[in-house]
Amino acid sequence: MIILFQHPYFIFLRFVLLSALMGSVRRPSWKPYWRYLALNVVVSAATVLVVLLIWGSAHKPPPALATPTIDIVAQIASSVPTATTTVTPSPTPVTYVVKPDDTLFGIAIELGVPLDVLMEANGITNPNSLDVGQVLIVPEVEGGPAATGTPAHDASEATETLTPDVEAPKVIIRGVDGAGILESEAVQILNSGGVAAMESWTLDDVEGHVYIFPDFTLHSGAISVHTAAGTDTVIDLYWGLNMAVWTPGKIITLRDSSGIIQSTFQIPEN
């Protein structure tokens, strides 16, 4: 407020108004002084209002500039990378090349793959039909060695112990080849269940001819029990007789080590 009273506009206006008013005073008395004081107050107030109006117009604040808005959502969306679909490569199949003296049953044991699964994967209907150099596709078996293509163990050392959670064996007599002919006579045994420890199992014809299985483990698949002599393998067992015993019409009985009948088969008549 002190600054306003010292402003040039205020001093000039005050001087003009007072000069005009005082010019009408003709004689000294105390009344003109009171009037002078009152006029002084009025003039001061008017001068202040005029100065304030002039000051306000001279110092009018500039118009506010528009603040640009930022689309935060759009910026975040543009910074997120676009998801791309990743194609999982197909696994390379595990294969096995047939070697001399290989048998399909022996290969199945070596690779830890059930014989029927191995045959189905390669479209094989005759397990005895293999060619040296033939490439077999080894199917992947959950928890088995086929997933890595590494044999679980050597076939000659294959032994397993049954546990209550393991599937029970299902061993049956599938048929007889070359019945009545010693050189070709053989009983075909098939296991479609779990592993069977066949030591002390028997084949008999109820006429006194009894074949006793050696310490032998039959996995899922088939074996042949030949009447003639020979060297046992994982798929061929030899009785060692010098005459044929499985003549047409006979009934063959397969019993386990406890003497319980597991399968019977009657040889067809010619």
Take residue 63 and report the two structure tokens written for it: 């118009």
Whether residues 235 and 266 fall in one domain = yes
Domain boundary among 14, 41, 58: 58
In angstroms and rounded to an integer, the radius of gyration of the C-alpha atoms of the chain is 58
Count how many domains the chain has.
Answer: 3
Whether residues 153 and 212 fall in one domain = no
- Does the pTM surpass 0.75? The reply is no
Looking at residue 8, what is its pLDDT? 61
On whether residue 226 sits in a domain, the answer given is yes
Looking at residue 148, what is its pLDDT? 41
Take residue 158 and report the two structure tokens written for it: 């294959």
Residue corresponding to tokens 């067809």: 268
On whether residue 40 sits in a domain, the answer given is yes
Whether residues 150 and 198 fall in one domain = no
- pLDDT below 50 — which residues of the chain? 2, 4, 24-25, 27, 145-164
Q: The domain containing residue 125 runs over which residues? A: 88-158
Whether residues 12 and 49 fall in one domain = yes
CA distances from 14 to 36, 52, 53, 73, 115 (A): 12, 15, 16, 63, 124
Domain boundary among 158, 178, 210: 158
Looking at residue 110, what is its pLDDT? 83
Q: What is the CATH number of the domain that holds 144?
A: 3.10.350.10
On whether residue 77 sits in a domain, the answer given is no
Whether residues 189 and 236 fall in one domain = yes
Looking at residue 111, what is its pLDDT? 85
Q: What is the CATH number of the domain that holds 191?
A: 2.60.40.1260
SS (H, E, C) 205-260: CCCCCEEECCCCEECCEEEEEECCCCCCCCCEEECCCCCCCCCCCCEEEEECCCCC
Looking at residue 77, what is its pLDDT? 59
Amino acid at 229: A
Whether residues 154 and 164 fall in one domain = no
Q: How many other C-beta atoms can be found within 10 angstroms of the C-beta atom of residue 16?
A: 12
CA distances from 80 to 71, 77, 142, 174 (A): 15, 5, 40, 67
Looking at residue 157, what is its pLDDT? 42
Whether residues 133 and 117 fall in one domain = yes
Looking at residue 74, what is its pLDDT? 61
